[in-house]
Chain A
């Protein structure tokens, strides 16, 4: 009972702040999608950051953690900073240069490491960060994620303990691999010759919200009153 309630409330935070942007986007060269969720709009209010970070903290609270690592410098940092405060751990931001995450040679990370990101889509950046497990004296305790839109099965692919707050599954417009199937959005935009735009009307967001309501949004490991 609690799980469903909290899932709805987290979803209200996402939709209420108009953070869903509809359009035609591409992540990597051959992955396309219909909408993205801009978390930096959600996190402009500090109390939203706290509610999310508290939920992630609860799922790892029994572990002892020495350092927190994020690959995201914009909103992942805010989550990491709030969670690091609760664990009394320092944080480390990995820079991204030309699409590749740069792990500097003099990086001094030891002990139990928790990796935190605001969202996962193609899982490309996470795969690069998880190479930290090859470092001596480091142990990756887990991965905490706010919005999970991952294409495949996370636990099969990465084999690390993993917890997300909201996961979007069974959505046909979620993320389309254009190598395997044809992207319907590409055709639409070619016919009507609409420029690819990031701005959206409010009506469209309402439509999208109604469509997304039918999907099963799983909410995992959350028992926080928001």
Chain B
């Protein structure tokens, strides 16, 4: 990370209460105190991540955001905020929600500097016309554009575009550059490019970016006895805590209602995934894991964990190919008598063949790979060496 950028996650800073609801005035004041301690003079760009937050109230904005903007108005270049899309739309529509106040406040001072992301695009508040926001969106999608390209894509007079561009250049959101021959001048998204890794990605986007490092080519045998030519593993995704946190929030949004515990297997990837989803669902949810018993082919809970009969569980796993492991976990839950809310996975590689029919099954990204039954594998006939990856939790013995 660059030195002049300060990235703050709101969920880290509030620990005592539930951080998903930012409602009261004292919460906002406490948060502002804690943030002041972190900000130093060398930070030019401040980004606040509200990704975990599901509700924001007007009193919170009055006590936290507006004073913060007033204080750092002239000292800092940019204060960016990362908010969920649904929240953003709500705040746009309702007058009570409070972000309109910020808009009006900034419009009086004629100084735009707030960025709020809408899916994968920054949005400026406090501008009189909407044109510069449209230009920003264009520059966000294509990294650099000439003046004529902008005019043709927007279908607006060149003088109006020029005015909007100059406001953006003054505030250092974009800057002008030229080719080495000085023949062509073009515009670049300067500051915004620095922010790009922190702000405004959907989870599907993030997974696609990291997809190449999560695939290995070769000849593999999975625990269900099936042969496969590609191996997906989510380890590269889960090694990065920022991304895993967002995946956990996404799963909690999909299937998080009335869940008392989250369960998965004992491999490190799945332990972390279950932990992050339990964290996102609520404060009281447990995260449990199970492993294969050494005597039978059943799955067993860890010795001192227990499941209540009246509680509801959510099964979480990184990759589903044939559904062998998930079926065993479902079997365990049926034996214990607990209810099953659903199943969620990051990758679904079956191409829609796996269903787990009475229960709800969701996955974040879908794909299809070639699956061979044991006798009929094409790769075995070519005499390629078989590799057995350690997927079953029994393999990870201490």
Contact = CB atoms under 8 A, between A and B. Distances in A.
Interface string B1-26: 10000010100100110000000000
A84 B239 CA distance: 9
B272 A78 contact: yes
Contacts, number: 65
Q: How large is the interface on A (under 10, 10 to 19, 20 to 34, 35 or more residues)?
A: 20 to 34
A85 B287 CA distance: 19
Interface of B: 1, 7, 9, 12, 15-16, 239-242, 244-245, 266-268, 271-272, 275, 278-279, 283, 285-288, 302-305, 396, 398
A91 B239 contact: yes
B260 to A, nearest CB: 12
Given A78-B275, A85-B241, A91-B241, A44 B303 contact: no
22 contacts: A19-B304, A21-B304, A41-B304, A44-B286, A46-B285, A46-B287, A47-B283, A49-B275, A50-B15, A54-B15, A73-B267, A73-B271, A74-B266, A74-B271, A77-B268, A81-B241, A84-B241, A85-B241, A85-B245, A90-B239, A92-B239, A198-B303
Nearest to A91: B239
Interface in A64-87: 73-74, 77-78, 81-82, 84-86
A81 B283 contact: no
Query: Is chain A's binding surface mostly helix, strand, loop or mixed?
Result: mixed
A90 B240 contact: yes
Contacts of A198: 303
B305 A44 contact: yes
A51 interface: yes
A92 B268 CA distance: 11
B52 to A, nearest CB: 12
A114 B139 CA distance: 39
Contacts of A49: 275
Contacts of B268: 73-74, 77, 93
B9 A85 contact: yes
A81 B287 contact: no
Nearest to A99: B398
A50 to B, nearest CB: 6
Contacts of B241: 81-82, 84-85, 89-91
Contacts of B287: 44, 46
Contacts of A47: 283
